[in-house]
Structure formats: C-alpha cells, structure tokens
Chains A and B, each alone.
Chain A
C-alpha cells in the first residue's frame, strides 16, 4: 500500500523542482523529520531525484519515475474509488430519503 503523503509529494514535484522546505510546508500537520523520511524513501525507490544548492536540497520527479504505469494507476484508482464512494453513498442517502 502506498503511503498517501508520498503520493502527494510525487504530485507536488511532478511539474518542477521544489526545495524540501516548500514540500514540508504543504503538510503543516506532519513533522519535518517525517517528511525527510518520505523523501528518503522516494529517493531510494528511484522515484524522485535530489539536487543540493548550497544548504538547500531540491527535489524533482526522477526521469521515468512518475511515468511508471504502476505509480500512475495506484494514484488513479485511489482517487477514482474516493469519488465512487462519495457518489454511491449520496445515491444511497437519496434512496433512503425517498422511502421515508
């Protein structure tokens, strides 16, 4: 199972390079060491690339990383099933109201 925050990080760095601080700022409820840990795992998995600029560390999608079919479909089914849950549950509620 893919950790949702890691998927979110992949999404963030898909369109351009971001410093670690900017990535961490997207997750105000997550500690900085946890974000660093996620970045480390993603880097080890070859999904993101790291570049150092002075004291800053910058991250971007590794070539071929996010194009990976598996990663795409992981994200695809998660987001679609969330929609399905919302749609079917509101359909159920409409039905329940209709029967009252």
Chain B
C-alpha cells in the first residue's frame, strides 16, 4: 500500500561522488543546509546535537518546523545515525522517537547510499482506526453492563 506499512522507510541511491564528500553533507552544517534544512547546528559525535530548522511550505500554509535530534553513531565516511523528531506536535514525529541511519559504501568511482528511517509512528489513518475501535469497545462494554444490571 502507498505510504502504508509499519516497516522502516528505506531509500537507496547511487551518487557519483566519493563517500568522504557525501559524508560531509550529513555532518557539516554549511553543507547540510545546501540540501536538507534551512538552518542547522551539528555536533557530529555520539550524543552530540543534531538540530535542524526546516523551512515552511512555499505557499505559506505551514511555518518552519524544528527538528531536535542527536547523533547516535558517527563513523566517517561510512555510517552516521541520528535521532529524528520535531518540536511541533503537528509534524506527528516527536523528538527522539525515530532514527535515521545512513550507510555509505564505495560503488565504482562513487557511492551507494542507503538511508533507513526507523521507528516511525504508525500512520494517522491507523490512529483514527484505533480510536474508532476503542469507541466501539467502550460502547459494547457500556451496553453489556446495562444488560447485566437489569
């Protein structure tokens, strides 16, 4: 199903640049702001801050959002793992709730990049469904009790 499922989100791409160059774009704030975020404060060592400000939508319907993460593993130039979550509750991913793992392997003259985004919250659609089920269960309990009381 599109966008569904509970497993990790995985992306794999080939980049015609050396792993060292690609790695720097995850740990150097000046470089990270060229592709991922509008602003960044990065302390690339285990336990170090990984803070990013993501710009709002172009139509101005959504303001900027703040990603509060922490580097969990930093192993240049092959692997970097950071936690991923937003201050804004409407983003649906609370701080420290999910992790992004990036693995870089040499491939020809370039790099094979595999990004795995794990522990994403179950979808809102599922939450609605869960809420609905709970309501039915409550309703069922309530009606059962009324019958027993009689």
Using CB atoms and an 8 Å cutoff, list the residues of chain A in contact with chain B.
Answer: 2-3, 6, 15, 41-42, 45-47, 64-65, 67-71, 73-74, 77-78, 80-81, 83-89, 91-92, 95
**Bound complex: CA A89 to CA B109 (Å):** 11
CB contacts (< 8 Å) of A70 on chain B: these are: 3-5, 9, 120, 123
Interface string of B1-20 (1 = CB under 8 A from A): 11111000101010111100
Per a CB cutoff under 8 Å, which of A64, A78, A81, A88 touches B128? A64
Residues of A within 8 Å of B13, CB to CB, are: 81, 85
* Interchain CB contact under 8 A, B124 and A95: no
When distances are taken between beta carbons in the complex, the residues of chain B under 8 Å from A77 are 9, 11, 115, 117
B68 at the interface (CB under 8 A from A): no
Q: Which of B17-48 contact A (CB under 8 A)?
A: 17-18, 21-22, 25, 31, 34-36
Give the docked Cα–Cα distance between A41 and B2 (Å): 8
Asked whether, in the complex, the Cβ of B4 is within 8 Å of the Cβ of A87, the reply is: no
The chain B residue with its CB closest to the CB of A71 is B3
Asked if residues A45 and B21 are in contact (CB atoms below 8 Å), the reply is no
For the A-B complex, the count of residue pairs with Cβ-Cβ distances under 8 Å equals 88
Task: Say yes or no: is B95 at the interface (Cβ < 8 Å to chain A).
Answer: no
Quick check: is B92 within 8 A (CB to CB) of the other chain? yes
B115 near A92 (CB under 8 angstroms)? no
On whether A45 and B124 interact (CB within 8 A), knowing A77-B117, A87-B35, the answer reads no
Chain B residue, CB-CB nearest to A84: B35
List B contacts of A88 (CB < 8 A). 15, 17, 21-22, 25, 111
Shortest CB-to-CB span from A86 to chain B, Å, is 8
Q: Are B120 and A73 in contact (CB under 8 A)?
A: yes
CB distance from B59 to the nearest CB of A (A): 8
A83 touches B35 (CB 8 A): yes
Contact indicator A84/B15 (Cβ below 8 Å)? yes
